[in-house]
Every structure is written in C-alpha cells, then in structure tokens.
A = this chain, B = another copy of it.
Amino acid sequence: MTVPPKPEPTGLFERATRRLPVERTPVWFMRQAGRTLPEYRKLRERWTLLQMCADPALCAEVTLQPMRRMPLDAAVMFGDIMLPLVGIGVDLDIVEGVGPVIAHPIRDLAGVAALRDLEPEADVPAAIEAVRLVRAALEPERAVLGFAGAPFTLAAYLVEGRPTRDFAKTKALMLGAPDVWAALMERLVAIVVRFMRANAQAGVSALQLFDSWVGALSVTDYDRHVRPWTQQVFAGLRDLDVPLVHFGTGCSHLLDQMKDDGAHIIGLDWRTPLDEAWARVGHDKGVQGNLDPAALSAPADVVAAAAREVLDRAAGRPGHVFNLGHGMLPHTPLANIERVVEVVQTYRPSTVVTDAMAPAA
C-alpha cells in the first residue's frame, strides 16, 4: 500500500506561491479589506477597528467584502499587526489618523518582562475564529492569507509609543541597550511565531510577515540587530506546509539580506523594477508586487498601463503574485482597483519564462 501523493493545490494563489505553473497571475491587494470600500466605511460608523477585530463574524465579514465585489484570488485577514500585543494585555489604542498609540512604551527589561507569551486561542480568539469562518465561506480555490507584524516593526511601536518617522528612541535602545533590545526581540519572535502558527492551524493558505518599518534601518543595523530575529520567525514556521512571504517597504538596500532570511516569497515595494528586484532575490524564490499604490489615483488608462508594465517585467515566470507595492491608499478610486484586477486576469505574457529557462539559483 502506498501513501497517495499529496494533491497539487488548484487555486492560483496557492500554485503561484509554490512556484507551480499557473494559467494567469493571481492578484490580491494589501489593505484590500478596509477604507476604500463603502460597505466597510458603513460598518466603521458603528464600530472601532479594535471592536471589529474582537468580533469574529464582523472580522470575517470585512475580510470577505472585497472578495464579493471583485474576483480576487486571495483574501487577507482583516486585522492589525498590533492585535497579538493587545491579546497579551498591552495597553494600546489605534487612534484615527495617527495609528497605534501605546500607553506605556517599553524601554527597559521590566517592560519586556511584562510581555507574556501568547496563547492564541485564549488571547486572540476572534482572529483565529475569523480565519475558520473565512476559510469556510470562500470557494476552495481562493486563498486566505494570514499575517503578523515583524519583530522589528512591533518593537518600534512598543519603544516609540506611537508612529514615528525617525525611530530615534528605537535605535537608541537597539544601539545603547543591546541586552534590553535582544530580550524584547526574543519575546516578540515567540509571540509572532505562535500567532502565525495558530493562523496556519486555522486554515490560512499563506503567511505574510509585515516588516513595514525595516527600511529605516541601515544594512549594518539590520544585520546586527534585526536579522537574527527575523530569521528565527521564519525558522519557527518552516515546518508548516504554508508559503511564507516577507514584505517591507523602502528596503531595496536590504534585499540581499531579506532574500536569505527564510521566506519563500519576497514582497516588493514599488521602488525597484520587478525584474531587477527579482533577479536580486533569485528566481528560485517567488515575488509579490509591485504596483505603486499612489499610481492608482491616476487616470484609469494610466493605471492599466502601469499594471501591465509590472506583468511585463514578471514575464510569466512561475512564482509571481500580483499586488501593490504597499497598502491600498484610503482614497483610491474603486473603478481603478477593479480595472487593475481586470488587467491582471486578462493579461497574457508575450513571452513566458519557464522554470527550465530560469537561471539556476
């Protein structure tokens, strides 16, 4: 008796993230669930973001809204990177127009010690239950994507206490109190890994690590003070049969590091042309991206041409997931979003690079 081989996934997103051939490029958008949709804004009149995240049915509903409106290939769980920290009791608020604001910023070992381990089913039950609801509601060929904030980005919020442009307090701690920094990163790695594993067990098709602020670091500081912890996150997830995506913005200078940190797919922002960035990442890995979200405010034909340019640069290589280079901006015209989906789903590359043609890794 032989064990039957595991069936190949049929969904386009799942196939592309495993670098299997696809008949067309899958597409989803970071922040597709949220402020651009009138049906979401209507819900937000009644509930705050954290209230919605605490209710599995509401959270699933918001996640599914863009899936009903558009033939997207993946649903990204509605939520916030700070949710696991809220779950373990960090006192924070998501302030409209500002972002997460922490009541007691963490800058010493006592603060780090107060960050207890995450028990996902007890601490973030709504987030995990919402994954099950979304998975059950969606057609099997449409993927569900779970995500978490990367340790550096979470640490930056915890240390600064609010969004910042310069990360002065974070860097001062990182450089000036390396023991506190290491303890903080170690705690965050454990929390992030547990949260992502619980997402996987609840049925997500892929996991994305949002390293939103990592581009503020020099290559040297990333290497010395962040990279080991990022690698630990991916090492803690590699036994799962789930593609792992690593995304950051403004980090073209870190691509040579990030490509080797353990993710299967590198999320690219819009700054570097996709073909050049993919060549640096290596064609043995997938890439996700990279239309400039700000370009979506241009006239529809310009938007369509920009989307086609991304696809031209991907050249039909296996392992490309179409996305924006960062989250959807609040005032993006819906018609432009729908136009991009249509462009991606009707696009046929003039030349297709197959695995066999791709240079060896």
Interface residues of A (CB under 8 A from B): 166-172, 175-176, 215-221, 250, 252-253, 270-273, 276, 292-295, 297-299, 302, 306, 309, 329, 331
C-alpha gap A299/B178 in the complex (Å): 12
Contact across chains for B220 and A273 when beta carbons are under 8 A apart: yes
C-alpha gap A271/B256 in the complex (Å): 13
Contact across chains for B171 and A298 when beta carbons are under 8 A apart: yes
Name the residue on B nearest A178 (C-beta). Answer: B302
C-alpha gap A255/B270 in the complex (Å): 16
A76 vs chain B, min Cβ distance (A) = 19
Q: What is the interface of chain A mostly: helix, strand, loop, or mixed?
A: helix
Selected from B168, B221, B271, B298, the residue in CB contact (under 8 A) with A172 is B298
Most buried by B among A297, A299, A331: A297
Contact across chains for A298 and B250 when beta carbons are under 8 A apart: no
Chain B residues closer than 8 Å to A331, beta-carbon distance: 168
Name the residue on B nearest A276 (C-beta). Answer: B219
Contact across chains for B298 and A272 when beta carbons are under 8 A apart: no
Chain B residues closer than 8 Å to A297, beta-carbon distance: 168-169, 171-172
A69 vs chain B, min Cβ distance (A) = 21
Selected from B171, B250, B329, the residue in CB contact (under 8 A) with A292 is B171
A268 vs chain B, min Cβ distance (A) = 11
Give the number of times this chain occurs in the complex, counting copies. Answer: 2
Chain B residues closer than 8 Å to A218, beta-carbon distance: 270-273, 292
Contact across chains for A294 and B171 when beta carbons are under 8 A apart: yes
C-alpha gap A175/B298 in the complex (Å): 6
Name the residue on B nearest A272 (C-beta). Answer: B253
Selected from B273, B299, B302, the residue in CB contact (under 8 A) with A219 is B273
A185 vs chain B, min Cβ distance (A) = 17
What are 22 A-B pairs with beta-carbon distances under 8 A?
A166-B293, A166-B294, A167-B294, A168-B297, A170-B294, A171-B292, A171-B295, A175-B295, A175-B298, A176-B298, A176-B299, A215-B250, A215-B271, A216-B294, A217-B271, A218-B271, A218-B273, A218-B292, A219-B272, A250-B250, A252-B252, A252-B253
Name the residue on B nearest A217 (C-beta). Answer: B271
C-alpha gap A166/B273 in the complex (Å): 18
C-alpha gap A219/B290 in the complex (Å): 12
A176 vs chain B, min Cβ distance (A) = 4
C-alpha gap A302/B173 in the complex (Å): 11
